[in-house]
């Protein structure tokens, strides 16, 4: 087997496969490496994907990768007295089957010319004169080293590749949510993503029910890293306390960490690019990372191929990916980070009041990031929130 490539991508999740495909398309020789024996498993995700992304990413989802089609979402107040349904073009989406979806994306990368190897664990990064130049791995138990001009780290929340390369991408407890979910049968559901806000049920996070069929759903909870207890305790409590899950049976357990703070300060270094959850490119409100990873992966792969063709893979050239991403994506995420930091200061009474006093349209605006009008309306009824909410104005 070849041991020298233009681009090596570590991690064949959606971000890594997109990066590998884009780099191969740009003319680079690409090696895509994954630790697992089977891509997509174990799943660590709610599996929701907005359909607007298909066009934006040029993505085709095979029917086999779609578990359920979603028409919108429904948000519940902590006291469950108010439910807000949001159904519009932007809330349409899919709950996908990551085990099929991820593999499909790696297959796409392979078809584009990328070499793909699985069951290969990268345990260190090679450097020469400060520049990243390859990886050290165990491939099916045997030592395997390969060199490259550009290394793309797409290894998810563990983000060990970037850290081996000397970039501090360790997740902090404060800026990370920790989630666990059961895939359950005998859970009646509509074609709606259900979100339950409640500090007591899911402090600094939320409880979700993502339908995977008429009576199958991912039921999960995410909590802030500094909150009391562990996610599983909250999930078990929620399921026990709702009649709806009385006959529910668990067919899978999934979990993981969700960076919900700022994206990494540096997305590139000499010979290195970081994409997706490994770069903390995750929506700070809903914790979704798949689409953002694919978007960033595509950008990174394209820039990597271009820089290689031009013969410059230093940080000052790879930075084109960093700049492109920060221009297109980061402002929206930072806006939502501000909202997260406000929401985490509210208690359940505040949430109940907000739900009571806002119309469906108001709540939709809030989620979309139009804060001004909505905040004014909340303050009329709950002036004590002035200090907290002023951060949004």
Partner 1 sequence: MIKINRSRCIYCGACVGVCPVLALTLKETYVEYDKEKCINCGNCAKACPMKAIDFEK
Separation between Cα atoms, residue 70 and residue 87, nearest integer Å: 9
**The pair of three-digit structure tokens given for residue 100, joined into one six-digit string:** 């099929």
Q: How far is the CB of 288 from partner 1 (least distance, A)?
A: 17
Per-residue mark of binding to partner 1, 68-107 (x: CB under 8 A): ----------------------------------------
C-alpha neighbours within 13 Å on the C-beta side of residue 158: 14
CB of 4 or CB of 123, closer to partner 1: 123
Cα-based distances in Å from 142 to 119, 120, 122, 137, 348: 11, 9, 12, 8, 54
Name which of residues 224 to 283 contact partner 1 (CB under 8 A).
225-226, 230-233, 253-257, 259
Asked if omega into 42 is within 30° of 0 (cis), the reply is yes
| Binders in 153-212 for partner 1, by CB under 8 A | 156-160, 163-164, 170-173, 176, 178-180
Distance CA 14, CA 162 (A): 18
Q: How many residues bind partner 1 (CB under 8 A)?
A: 35
Among 56, 79, 80, 123, binds partner 1 (CB under 8 A): 123
Rounded to a whole number of angstroms, the minimum distance from the CB of residue 253 to partner 1 is 6
State the nearest-atom distance from the C-beta of 325 to partner 1, in Å.
21
CA 202 to chain centre: 19
Q: Given the complex with partner 1, which of 26 and 46 has the nearer CB atom?
A: 46
Minimum CB separation of residue 14 from partner 1 in Å reads: 16
CB 153 within 8 A of CB 273: yes
Nearer to partner 1 by C-beta: 171 or 285? 171
Segment 291 to 320, residues that bind partner 1, using CB under 8 A: none
Pick 171 or 375: Cβ nearer partner 1: 171
Site string for partner 1, 332-371 (x = CB under 8 A): ----------------------------------------
Q: Which is nearer to partner 1, 233 or 347 (CB)?
A: 233
222 or 298: whose CB is closer to partner 1?
222
Kindly state whether residue 62 participates in binding partner 1, applying the rule CB under 8 A: no
CB 180, min distance to partner 1, A: 4
Measured from the CB atom, the residue of 156 and 301 that comes closer to partner 1 is 156
Locate the DSSP E strands across 200-309.
206-211, 216-224, 249-259, 268-269, 272-274
Minimum distance of partner 1 from residue 262's CB (angstroms):
15
| Tokens coding 195 | 């979100």
Cβ nearer to partner 1, comparing 121 with 360: 121
Characterise 339 by phi-psi region: left (phi > 0), alpha (psi -120 to 50), beta (else): alpha
Q: Under the rule (CB under 8 A), what is the footprint of partner 1?
A: 35-37, 42, 44, 119, 121, 123, 156-160, 163-164, 170-173, 176, 178-180, 225-226, 230-233, 253-257, 259
């Amino acid at each position: 087997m070849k041991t020298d490539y233009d681009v090596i991508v570590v991690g064949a999740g959606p971000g890594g496969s997109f990066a590998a495909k884009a780099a191969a398309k740009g003319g680079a020789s690409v090696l895509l490496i994954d630790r697992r024996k089977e891509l997509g498993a174990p799943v660590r995700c709610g599996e929701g994907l907005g359909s607007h992304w298909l066009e934006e990413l040029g993505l085709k989802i095979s029917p086999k990768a779609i578990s359920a089609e979603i028409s919108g979402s429904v948000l519940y107040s902590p006291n469950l007295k108010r439910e807000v349904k949001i159904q519009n073009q932007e809330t349409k989406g899919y709950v996908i089957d990551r085990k099929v979806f991820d593999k499909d994306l790696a297959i796409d990368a392979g078809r584009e010319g990328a070499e793909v190897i699985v069951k290969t664990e990268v345990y260190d990064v090679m450097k020469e004169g400060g520049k990243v130049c390859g990886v050290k791995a165990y491939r099916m138990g045997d030592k395997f080293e390969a060199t490259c001009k550009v290394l793309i780290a797409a290894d998810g929340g563990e983000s060990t590749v970037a850290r081996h390369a000397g970039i501090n991408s360790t997740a902090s407890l404060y800026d990370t949510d920790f989630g666990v979910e059961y895939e359950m049968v005998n859970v009646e559901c509509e074609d709606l993503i259900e979100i339950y806000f409640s500090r007591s049920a899911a402090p600094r996070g939320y409880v979700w029910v993502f339908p995977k069929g008429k009576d199958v759903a991912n039921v999960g909870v995410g909590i802030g890293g500094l909150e009391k207890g562990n996610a599983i305790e909250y999930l078990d409590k929620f399921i026990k306390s709702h009649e709806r899950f009385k006959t529910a049976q668990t067919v899978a357990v999934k979990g993981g960490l969700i960076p919900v703070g700022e994206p990494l300060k540096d997305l590139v270094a000499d010979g290195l690019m970081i994409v997706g959850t490994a770069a903390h490119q995750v929506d700070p409100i809903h914790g979704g990372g798949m689409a953002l990873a694919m978007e960033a992966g595509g950008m990174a792969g394209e820039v990597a191929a271009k820089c290689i063709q031009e013969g410059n893979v230093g940080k000052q050239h790879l930075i084109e990916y960093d700049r492109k991403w920060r221009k297109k994506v980061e402002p929206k995420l930072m806006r939502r980070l501000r909202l997260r930091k406000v929401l985490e200061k509210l208690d359940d009474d505040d949430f109940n009041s907000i739900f009571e006093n806002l119309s469906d349209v108001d709540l939709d605006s809030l989620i979309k990031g139009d804060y001004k009008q909505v905040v004014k309306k909340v303050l009329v009824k709950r002036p004590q929130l002035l200090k907290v909410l002023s951060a949004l104005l």
